[in-house]
């Protein structure tokens, strides 16, 4: 089973700053990695799929990169609405055929 | 508007059963694979079950295998999760989610809360 690790667990930044979030897989997932944003009391929202493709309606300040085992979500300039928890997620290509989420990175206001 | 709406959550005693429903609208439900994902209070996201568009393929997380059953009715644009032998650790918000590109969940419902407690 592939395990996803996210770092840091918490990121304290000010609006306007650049945020860099990391997701590492225990073995290669090729480019099959997605990123989600979740705010308190809300469902997750898909930001990035296939490592670098922005989902419909996602602002250009969100970008994803990486392949294999190391992936990055970058928020170029934090807006007030970007303070939230971010999860990465992958789907295994071989048995057990499952989907795995990382533990999340919480981006807080400094 | 593309939308998923869950229902059926509530308070249930340990070893009890509950059936969750997810109503889809605004898209051709029968074209999409669907999933259930849950989130325990204050915790992260946990995928629990997948069903292919035609129901021909189904997967479960080990944590629910043998206790939960996923199903769908494409004629009714609905997804279901039958949950039996519920445990305290099944307490969570349960989301239905649409799968795209075989790999990412692009549409989520608002969630329905399931509390397992005596």
Is the pLDDT at A42 greater than 70? The verdict is: yes
Pull the structure tokens for residue B42. 């204050």
Rounded to 5°, the CA angle A11-A68-A25 comes to 50
> Measured between CA atoms, how close is B107 to chain A, in angstroms?
8
* Interface test with chain B among A32, A99, A104, by most B beta carbons within 10 Å: A99
Question: What is the mean pLDDT of the segment spanning B65-71?
Answer: 98
Helix (H, G, I), strand (E, B) or coil at B38: strand
Using a CB-CB distance cutoff of 8 angstroms, which residues of chain B are in contact with residue A91? 102-103
User: Would you give the distance in Å from CA A44 to the centre of its chain?
Assistant: 11
Phi, psi of B30 (to 5 degrees): -65, -10
* Contact assessment for residue A89 and residue A102, using Cβ atoms and an 8 Å cutoff: yes
Tell me how crowded residue A12 is: count the other CB atoms within 10 A of its CB: 12
Q: Which residue in this structure is represented by tokens 């035609």?
A: B54
pLDDT interval class at B101 (50, 70, 90): confident
Pull the structure tokens for residue B67. 């206790």
Which residues of chain B from 59 to 98 reach within 8 Å of chain A, CB to CB? 59, 61-62, 95
Is the pLDDT at A94 greater than 80? The verdict is: no
Cα gap B61→A80, rounded to integer Å:
36
Cα gap B50→B38, rounded to integer Å:
12
What's the confidence (pLDDT) of residue A99? 94
Helix (H, G, I), strand (E, B) or coil at A15: coil
pLDDT interval class at A96 (50, 70, 90): low
* Contact assessment for residue B101 and residue A49, using Cβ atoms and an 8 Å cutoff: yes
Using a CB-CB distance cutoff of 8 angstroms, which residues of chain B are in contact with residue A97? 50, 59
Pull the structure tokens for residue B115. 């509390």
Using a CB-CB distance cutoff of 8 angstroms, which residues of chain B are in contact with residue A102? 44
Using a CB-CB distance cutoff of 8 angstroms, which residues of chain A are in contact with residue B110? 43
B85-100 pLDDT, tens digit per residue, is 999 999 999 999 999 9
Phi, psi of A39 (to 5 degrees): -100, 155
- The conformation of residue A81, written as its DSSP 8-state character, comes to G
Cα gap A73→A88, rounded to integer Å:
9
What's the confidence (pLDDT) of residue B69? 98
Cα gap B77→A70, rounded to integer Å:
38
């Amino acid at each position: 089973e592939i395990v996803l690790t996210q770092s840091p667990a918490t990121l304290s930044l000010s609006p306007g700053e650049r945020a860099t979030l990391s997701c590492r897989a225990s073995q290669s997932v090729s480019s099959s990695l997605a990123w989600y944003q979740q705010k308190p009391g809300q469902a997750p929202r898909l930001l990035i799929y296939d490592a670098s493709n922005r989902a419909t309606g996602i602002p250009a300040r969100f970008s994803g990169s990486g392949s294999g085992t190391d992936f990055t979500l970058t928020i170029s300039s934090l807006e007030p609405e970007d303070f939230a928890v971010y999860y990465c997620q992958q789907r295994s290509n071989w048995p057990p055929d499952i989907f795995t989420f990382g533990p999340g990175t919480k981006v807080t206001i400094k | 508007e593309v939308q998923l709406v869950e229902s059926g959550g509530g308070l249930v005693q340990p070893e009890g059963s509950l059936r969750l429903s997810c109503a889809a609208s605004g898209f051709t439900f029968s074209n999409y694979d669907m999933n259930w994902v849950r989130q325990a209070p204050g915790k992260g996201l946990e995928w629990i079950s997948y069903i292919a568009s035609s129901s021909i393929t189904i997967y479960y997380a080990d944590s629910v295998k043998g206790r939960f059953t996923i199903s769908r009715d494409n004629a009714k644009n609905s997804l279901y999760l039958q949950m039996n032998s519920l445990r305290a650790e099944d307490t969570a918000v349960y989301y239905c989610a649409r799968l795209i590109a075989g790999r990412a969940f692009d549409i989520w419902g608002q969630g329905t809360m399931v509390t397992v407690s005596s």
